[in-house]
Structure 1
Amino acid sequence: MVENTVTGYSVLQRALHWLMAALIFFNLIFSDGMEHWNRLMRRGEAITPDDISSANIHAYVGIAILLLCLIRLAVRLMQGAPDAPPQEPPLLKLAAKLAHWTLYALFVLMPVTGMAKYYFGNDTLGELHGGPLKILLWALIVLHVLGALVHQFYWKTNVLARMTRGV
């Protein structure tokens, strides 16, 4: 077996991570414009240009997240990623790997299902987008942050430094 020589994330990987985090939080926290547009559409009420602009911001940020995710995946495949620290128990290493790849899947599925609703009127995928996928995304974000804190303060590993300073 070839030993992984990657010990930290590149500047590009870290920039993509934090930019995506900011855009994801923006869309999760400031989804009111899209939700308002959706309510108006369901009720058959008039939609103003301001309503469309607010919904478009949410949609365009989602599209940016999708594109950044695809770039991030390509960079990860080319540059690799550091192994989990040895202090992490094997079962938690597996859980972390599953959580990370599920996050990547959500970074694709959320924009695709959102676009299916907004641009193509697919209500089923829209419900999936604003319901179970959104809940799963929030849950995994919380677990991701908690995992980083456990690494930092319990196992005292360099996981946070790898994604902040690249060490």
Structure 2
Amino acid sequence: MTKSPTMSYSILQRVLHWAMALLIFFNLLFTDGIEQWNRISKRGGELAASDAFSANIHAYVGISILALAVLRLILRKVQGVPPEQAEEPAIARLAAKVTHALLYLMFFIMPLSGIARYYFDVDTAGELHAEVFKVILWALIAVHIAGALAQRFYFRTDSLKRMTSGV
């Protein structure tokens, strides 16, 4: 049985997209607690309760992002996604596909590397997480947003509406 293509993302897919966006921005912007924990843990010092709380929030948000990413992949498989925009040039469609694949990869790499550092004391994972992967994720977010804006205002497709209003 062949599933008919969906013309828009489901409400749950859209909610998960925007919830993850908020959680990702939260963890990218508010890193003081986890950075303080990292500095103190490397020196073997005593961690203040407020620093431990902030570090735990960062960790729990990261774990939530990982769980939501798994759910998003399941929903993509079960509910499908809208077809590519035929009005866009092939290179733009390829760029969108590559960017989305790399974003999904980062949805797993970032939390898993953070978990490796925070819970299993793997310093290399923490360094990659905070220095390399973070920069890559910011770059991918910038490309993703620029692509969405290009789809809306340059190519004049409804891609952005499919992830906002569901039209």
Q: Specify the TM-score bucket, using the shorter chain as the normaliser.
A: over 0.9
Over the matched positions of the two proteins, sequence identity in percent amounts to 52
Q: 1:32 — aligned with what?
A: 32
8 Å CA contact 1:66, 1:107 repeated in 2: yes
Q: 1:108 — aligned with what?
A: 108
8 Å CA contact 1:4, 1:83 repeated in 2: no
8 Å CA contact 2:5, 2:80 repeated in 1: no
* Deviation, structure 1 residue 6: 1.4
Instruction: Compute the TM-score of the two structures, normalised by the length of structure 2.
Output: 0.95
Residue 78 (structure 1) aligned with residue 69 (structure 2): no
Q: Per-residue CA shift, 1:57-100, capped at 9, x if unaligned?
A: 00000000000000010001111111221121112211211110
Q: 2:68 — aligned with what?
A: 68
* Deviation, structure 1 residue 154: 0.8
Aligned residues: 166
Tell me which moved more, 37-46 or 135-144: 37-46
Instruction: Compute the TM-score of the two structures, normalised by the length of structure 1.
Output: 0.95
* Deviation, structure 1 residue 4: 6.0
* Deviation, structure 1 residue 42: 1.8
Query: Secondary structure at the residue paired with 1:37?
Result: helix
Distance 2:3 2:91 in 1: 21
Query: Secondary structure at the residue paired with 1:35?
Result: helix
8 Å CA contact 1:4, 1:82 repeated in 2: no
- Per the alignment, do residues 151 and 27 of structure 1 end up closer, same or farther by CA in structure 2, a change over 3 Å counting? same
8 Å CA contact 2:5, 2:81 repeated in 1: no
- Deviating above 4 A after TM superposition, structure 1's stretches of 4 or more consecutive aligned residues are none
* Deviation, structure 1 residue 132: 1.2
